[in-house]
Amino acid sequence: MITQDDLNNLKAIAGEQFVSTGESVLDLHSHDESYHTPVLPDVVVWPHNTDEVSRVARYAFQRRIPITGWGLGTSLEGNPIPVNRGIVVDFQAMQRVLDVRPEDFQVDVEAGVVYKELNKALAEHGLFFPPDPGAAATIGGMVGNNASGIRTIKYGATKDHIALLVVVLPGGEVVRIGNRARKSSSGYDLIHLFVGSEGTLGLVTEATLKLVGLPADFMALRVTFPEVKNATDSVFQIMRSGFTPAAMEFLDSNVITVLNRDRNLAMQERPTLLMEFDGFSHEGLRAEMAYVEEICTENGSTFIDKGIGRAERDRLWETRHLTFESIKRRHPGLLPLIVDVAIPLSHYSEMVAFIKKEVNGLLAFIFGHAGDGNIHVIIMDAPADIRRWARVEEANCHIVEKALEYEGTCTGEHGIGIGKRRFLAEEHGDSLKLMKRIKRLIDPEGIFNPGKFFL
Ligand SMILES: Cc1cc2nc3c(=O)[nH]c(=O)nc-3n(C[C@H](O)[C@H](O)[C@H](O)COP(=O)(O)OP(=O)(O)OC[C@H]3O[C@@H](n4cnc5c(N)ncnc54)[C@H](O)[C@@H]3O)c2cc1C
């Protein structure tokens, strides 16, 4: 339990107005975007730099107070919910872009920087940070969850774009891991240990990000197919032909139905692929487009909408970016359980068929990043209705088990948080014991984001 003394000591570190126990502040830091039960922290602290984070961590360690990092709380698995209460460290007062080095394709940022804002600032240098989870996420939160999104197929996930991290360990020690070279074979790969660790091993205060040149031009297609298999065969054939789509999304017919109703559109309500390609010139992209169209037509496509240039790309992709909001808006009063399995590509259409059977009778919407084997199912229901929610959980369980049967994973990008803990033993087998040993070694008191990852 936090005492007045604790509050005074935290205020001495971060400043009087950067420590709060206000009701609305605690409420805001009690939940993410998932259905998981909110838990109020005892106190929220907004540190301004690595030294303050380190001092907060040292104090929490001395007093054995739980400490949980907070970006913008857009997680989908309860990842930042402070389930054991304690201190939430919110990184909103650490939003500085410290150094842009265009010639190195690198930028140094503080953990609270929001990637969309960063990309606006980087555009003037002709550069961008590619991982794109869609929501307004911070770099710290993206590192925490190893976020990715629609562009993973071409550009990779957050883990592929981190050169260096400054991390505060439990106890307050500050470590700098990684380097600024473009490649390295030196030592254990600690970057990849911390990326995706959801704040259970350390708090990231600064990061050096690897950047990519902004593409000069874009081309996009929205293609409908009679069956899921026609769509997934097209994905495989397009990629095997040597094309590298920048994004390749699958939307099942019921998602199109929701989008039509919510946005007053008239898209064919069939399995749909949304594709984006980037490149150097209209001519090159036009040639690619003709080839991609041919593959889709050979696979029985029933409708193709297409365009070249940024405006056309934005027009064709607008609905995809609104999918989550449209589904939520059409189902007021219900909460989403979001399945996030990822599987080897060859099983994609079988997996979608399996999911359809599993969710029969539920309000479920299937879509995903088809190019990297990630499938999302949003199941809308009321967690308070115990009988119905048990059915939702059961469907989720069966879908994850099927993904593991295909040697896939329970989470492609949302992380373990609270909801996926029960699948770790099955997915990781003996290596889960190694993960637990690493956790005990780095956080012997178990105070960094407790209640996550491990059951
Ligand atoms: C509409 C919508 C769409 C989404 N689409 C995608 C998608 O396509 N792909 C995807 O990957 N995700 C997606 N997400 C999930 C979410 O946006 C990402 O997981 C994102 O990375 C979370 O960032 P955040 O700043 O909100 O972090 P938070 O949710 O605040 O925190 C995330 C985790 O990181 C920890 N953490 C936060 N800051 C730090 C830090 N400085 N150091 C160490 N740990 C820290 C937290 O404790 C928590 O465990 C979506 C979410 C929404 C609402």
What tokens were used for 106? 């690198």
Handedness of CA 306, 312, 315, 319 (dihedral sign): positive
Q: How far is the CA of 67 from the centre of ligand 1 (A)?
A: 17
Length of the chain: 455
Q: Which atom of ligand 1 is nearest to the CA of 69?
A: 47
361: region left, alpha or beta (phi > 0 left; psi from -120 to 50 alpha): left
Cα 119 from Cα 130, distance rounded (Å): 9
285-332 residue pLDDT tens: 999 999 999 999 999 999 999 999 999 999 999 888 889 999 999 999
Q: What's the CA angle centered on 144, arms 140 and 148, to 5 degrees?
A: 95
Does 44 sit in the ligand 1 pocket, CB within 6 Å? no
Does 139 sit in the ligand 1 pocket, CB within 6 Å? no
pLDDT mean over 244-254: 95
Q: How far is the CA of 115 from the centre of ligand 1 (A)?
A: 11
Q: Which atom of ligand 1 is nearest to the CA of 33?
A: 53
Q: How far is the CA of 110 from the centre of ligand 1 (A)?
A: 16
Q: How far is the CA of 379 from the centre of ligand 1 (A)?
A: 20
Backbone angles phi, psi at 375, to 5 degrees: -120, 130
Q: How far is the CA of 107 from the centre of ligand 1 (A)?
A: 20
186-242 residue pLDDT tens: 999 999 999 999 999 999 999 999 999 999 999 999 999 999 999 999 999 999 998
Q: In which element (H, E) is residue 142 found? A: helix 139-145
Does 340 sit in the ligand 1 pocket, CB within 6 Å? no
Res 136: pLDDT: 92
Virtual torsion, Cα 233, 234, 240, 245, nearest 10 deg: -140
Res 320: pLDDT: 86
Q: How many Cβ atoms are within 10 Å of 325's Cβ, its own excluded? A: 10
Cα 376 from Cα 337, distance rounded (Å): 10
* Average pLDDT of the chain, as a whole number: 96
